[in-house]
A = this chain, B = another copy of it.
Amino acid sequence: MSSPASLAAMAAQIGDPGRAAMLCALVDGRALTASELAAIAGITPQTASGHLRQLQENQLISMVKQGRHRYFRLATSEVADLIEKLQILSGDRRLPPRTGPRDPELRALRSCYNHLAGGLAVALTDRLVDRKIIELTEEAGIITAPGSRALSDLGLDLKSCSTKSGPRLCRPCLDWSERRPHLAGALGTALFRFFLEEAWISRSATPRGLTVTRRGQAGFRQAFSLDVDLAGRLREQAAA
């Protein structure tokens, strides 16, 4: 009844290793089947089924039937936010030591529900700041007037970032592995979709993995002076 009780119930849902593994697997925003999630969590389908039912009842995930498969995805992007926050806090342990995923390719580039994360995302954000396309504080960011023009010229749709009269806004998100801000929010999503639609990047086999295409290599170099390999690793710190 009381709020702390239902809060505890919600946290307890995430507090089981199996359910946590499934939720983490869904943070990239895609929908997965019950069997896939069971395999990821390392449990039998029966057990997974029970967990998935609980997660649905607590509004953490949603399900859609398709033939004999059931696809599960996170209910809202707020759930993804929550998981990310928990990842950061759980990896805290003071002192700098290695946070984030162990897989070096995921450290270089990965998706974070609906925007980019990893070394390339942080570098891209730095570049946008350097070029005065955006300005950032710890808690918010704005797109400058020339920046807004530059991004529109590139082909981005920025309408969802608008205030009534002032400059367009965006949101920083602390990168799990880099511990420095990358772009989330409306601009982060617009960029992510732009890169996917223009085939600069594509999803890879690993859950949150992304790879850069040849076209993307050229694009990042030309548009942002970022020299990356096909895994998203930065080759050098090219001058702006």
Contact = CB atoms under 8 A, between A and B. Distances in A.
State the copy count for this chain. Answer: 2
A52 interface: no
Given A20-B5, A24-B7, A59-B94, A171 B87 contact: no
A99 to B, nearest CB: 9
Contact of A92 (B9, B16, B59): B59
B170 A9 contact: no
A167 B142 CA distance: 8
A93 interface: yes
Interface residues of A, number: 60
Nearest to A10: B90
Nearest to A161: B137
A150 interface: no
Contacts of A9: 15, 90
A211 to B, nearest CB: 21
Interface string A138-154: 01111010000000000
A51 to B, nearest CB: 12
A96 interface: no
Interface string A7-23: 11111111111011101
Contacts of A24: 3-4, 7
Contacts of A15: 8-9, 11-15
Nearest to A25: B4
A90 B3 CA distance: 8
A162 interface: yes
A89 interface: yes
Contacts of A136: 163
A156 interface: no
Interface stretch (A76-84, A117-125, A232-240): A76-84
A117 to B, nearest CB: 13
A231 to B, nearest CB: 20
6 contacts: A8-B20, A10-B86, A10-B90, A11-B13, A11-B14, A137-B169
Interface of A: 3-17, 19-21, 23-24, 59-60, 78-79, 81-83, 85-94, 100-101, 132, 135-137, 139-142, 144, 161-167, 169-171, 185-186
